[in-house]
A and B are shown apart, each in its own frame.
Chain A
Amino acid sequence: MAAIYSLYIINKSGGLIFYKDYGSAGRMDTNDSLRLASLWHSMHAISQQLSPVSGCSGIELLQADTFDLHCFQSLTGTKFFVVCEPGTLHMESLLKHIYELYTDYVLKNPFYEMEMPIRCELFDINLAQAVQKDRVALLGR
């Protein structure tokens, strides 16, 4: 029933710095998730080059038969993307909110090293709350 399958955060050079699985469907091992993250990083970059529109900022939404992939890129090149059930709404605002949590609980943490995997307790706690809230909102509809 989970609307969100998984969440990824990749740094500006395409390395996976955060990965979280929410659904039971499409569970992946560490190697696969790393591969997928760098693959998405490259595809995102290529799409910017190939786009007929100038000033294109890359893929924001990828729709497939079995999932939607919403991507948000911050100004510094860090990419946040969620894989979710097709047709799930409000993913842009969720991604923005996750970005906010990242700037608060990861970047303001003196023990976090830039571009390295995120291991911050407070980020995990607040992220879990945000996703939970999103699910509750979904059930309420």
Chain B
Amino acid sequence: MIGVGKIKQYTNVLDRPLSKGKQEVSLSAFAFLFSELVQYNQTQVDNIAELERRLEDAGYAVGARVLELLCHREKGNRRETRLLGILSFIHSTVWKVLFGKVADSLEKGTEHEDEYMISEKELLLNRFISIPKDMGAFNCGAFVAGIVKGVLDNAGFPAVVTAHFVPVDGQQRPRTTILIKFAEEVLQREARLG
């Protein structure tokens, strides 16, 4: 449908502007696709840690691409170079494009200087997913953790990113927290930049 009703018609796909295009895809289609991704990876592994790692890897590739695209589309080919800048870029810009909303919260870890947390009351990925009891603390949010890691790594902020369920008082369902632990060099650089 691209180009229909528009004044200018682009015959070559490479000539088209990198427009926003249609913003949304069907949630059901995505849910089935993601479900299939998880099921496929489940057949390829023999423990949960391995499954988590594979989901993270799948997300990493998405993150790398999303960073490239959004820097061009939203930021006029500029990329964040400061720690808080890149974190709020993920929290608002990336989240909005991927999930249609800004993430619920972005916090600094209280115990460690190098830890930051992005929390989501109900992660879009987990909307239809119930984790069986025997899988323990496994969280399909590992895929999102991978996306965040992909963005950070490629922006020059190497970090270890993990997804966790955190129980909330008075709520039946736990929320998902994406825990970001930056590499030492990142913090040293930040300190130097002042």
Contact = CB atoms under 8 A, between A and B. Distances in A.
Contact of A110 (B28, B39, B172, B173): B39
A110 B132 contact: no
A123 B132 CA distance: 12
A105 B28 contact: no
B130 interface: yes
Contact of B129 (A119, A122, A125): A122
A104 B38 CA distance: 16
B42 interface: yes
A109 B172 contact: no
Contacts, number: 39
Contacts of A110: 34-39, 42, 129, 140
Contact of A111 (B28, B37, B131, B173): B131
Interface string B158-184: 000000000000001100000000000
A121 interface: yes
Contacts of B86: none
Nearest to B133: A119
Interface residues of A, number: 12
A141 interface: no
B172 A125 contact: yes
Contact of B128 (A104, A119, A125): A104
Nearest to B126: A122
Contacts of B106: none
Interface centre among A109, A111, A119 (most CB of B within 10 A): A111
B165 to A, nearest CB: 12
A122 B132 contact: no
Interface of A: 104-105, 108-111, 119-123, 125
Q: Which 4 A-B pairs have the closest CB atoms?
A: A110-B38, A108-B128, A120-B130, A121-B130
